[in-house]
Amino acid sequence: MEANEAQELQENAEHGAHESSLRPVAFTMSVLAVLVAVTTVLGHRTHTEAVLDQNKATDQWNEYQAHKIRSNDTALAADMLSVVTIGDQNAAHKIAKSYADHQAKWADETKEDKEKAEALETKVEQAEARADRFDLAEALLEIGLVITSVTLLTRSRIYWYLGMVFAAGGIAAGITGLLLR
């Protein structure tokens, strides 16, 4: 074996040892990439949930307003009947009683509509809080992935450790997003 060949074999062995020492870094990067993808999907789905719940809340507030308007119009008509002189008092009392029945019904309905709308708004706030956590998790995981990848360029493990710190923060934020209800 010539000196050149021996030197090449030694360099290849050292290079291979360097490459095998970077396998955990490459594996970590793969795991982080998967976690970023999962967190991104969870964040998007949660944002969509918040938008859909906001639409439902808006519809419920519209129903509440419609009942309030009908109730107000009926109250005005009942007030008008009480001050206007009408030839057929029996008919006026029947109409006034009908209006009073509607008022009672609509009072219950507006109360229910308001409670439903407020419950939907609470769901929206909860979904937005979860989505914010997923967004934070995504950002921290991406930062961790990028910093970890610097290890491959510099061969310095300090970047791997620093990337792992950011990744741990991202994982924690993602878990809190899952736990919020």
Does a structural domain hold residue 58?
Answer: yes
Place of tokens 């029996």: 90
Contact 120, 62 (CB under 8 A): no
pLDDT of 85 reads: 66
Does a structural domain hold residue 2?
Answer: no
> pTM of the entire structure?
0.72
Place of tokens 């009926």: 74
* Domain housing 106: 28-179
Does a structural domain hold residue 13?
Answer: no
Does a structural domain hold residue 22?
Answer: no
Tens-level pLDDT at each residue, the chain (181 residues): 455 554 554 555 455 445 667 889 999 999 999 999 999 999 999 999 999 999 999 999 998 888 888 877 777 777 776 666 667 677 767 777 777 777 777 778 888 888 888 999 999 999 999 999 999 999 999 999 999 999 998 989 999 999 999 999 999 999 999 998 7
